[in-house]
Amino acid sequence: MEKQIATFKDYAIFMADKTSLMEIAQFVVRENYSHHLSSFTEKEVNEDIKSVLEEEEYLYDNKSHIYIARDAFGNIIGCIRSFHWDKHKTLPIEKIYGINPLNAIHQESKYSFWHIGRFAVAKDSGISTLTLFKRLMALAVKPIVEDKYSYMIAEIDSKLLKVMKVLGFGTRQIGKSIDYLTSETVPVYVPVREVLWASFPDMVNFARLHDYTFV
């Protein structure tokens, strides 16, 4: 079930749940292929969709936050997902890169980890990609910046990583990049103190309007 939480001129943002995972998997995979490959088969796409869906179903719990942007016709044009790691499930960063945050970042029990993933924006939506990115990211990182003992962890497309650095995210690379879902992907983490909200105040104001969306 989806709950609309913000409306703009050309689209709206919804908070979603587990029932949207298949649509997210399809959107993320197809957008990645569209952005990065000129030639591919439907079999390859479907295999990656299946893999992404299985991973998201495994990771999903009551501390997962899923956000979907839809245009006026109901088509998905963007999405992002964050969840609070229980320190037991195998994270994508460990599955793909062999990196366990407890060993690579911090072992003290008071520190928590939030995984950000499945970010994608439609290639030909006609919507400002940067603006939509900032709005979705604001929602995803809000619970992280509110916890002074937290870390954001993610596997990020190398081009998107450059954008995040410009926006003020003090990302730190913790492994070699690899090709994942058609693009060069980099494992990173961000200490909460280095998510610089002051660099983009419009994100702060937008996120503050939606306190009710987080627990």
Go through the domains of the chain in sequence order and give each one's CATH number: 3-213 (3.40.630.30)
Distances, alpha carbon 191 to alpha carbons 22, 31, 40, 66, 129, in Å = 31, 29, 38, 22, 25
Burial 183-195 (b: 16+ CB within 10 A, else e): bebbbbbbbbeeb
Check if the beta carbon of residue 77 is closer than 8 Å to that of residue 70: yes
- pLDDT for residue 24: 96
Asked if residue 139 has pLDDT above 80, the reply is yes
**Looking at the predicted structure, is the pLDDT value of residue 206 above 70?**
no
Residue 197 reports pLDDT greater than 60:
no
pLDDT > 90: what percent of the chain?
Answer: 54
pTM: 0.86
Long-range contacts of 12-18 (CB under 8 A, 24+ apart): 12/69, 12/70, 13/67, 13/68, 13/69, 13/135, 13/136, 13/139, 14/67, 14/68, 14/69, 14/70, 15/65, 15/66, 15/67, 15/213, 16/66, 16/67, 16/68, 17/66, 18/57, 18/60, 18/64
Pairing of β 150-157 and β 112-121: parallel
pLDDT tens readout for residues 85-119 = 999 999 999 999 999 999 999 888 889 999 999 99
Res. 54: pLDDT tops 90 = yes
Q: Determine the pLDDT at residue 134.
A: 87
- pLDDT band at 194, cuts 50/70/90? low
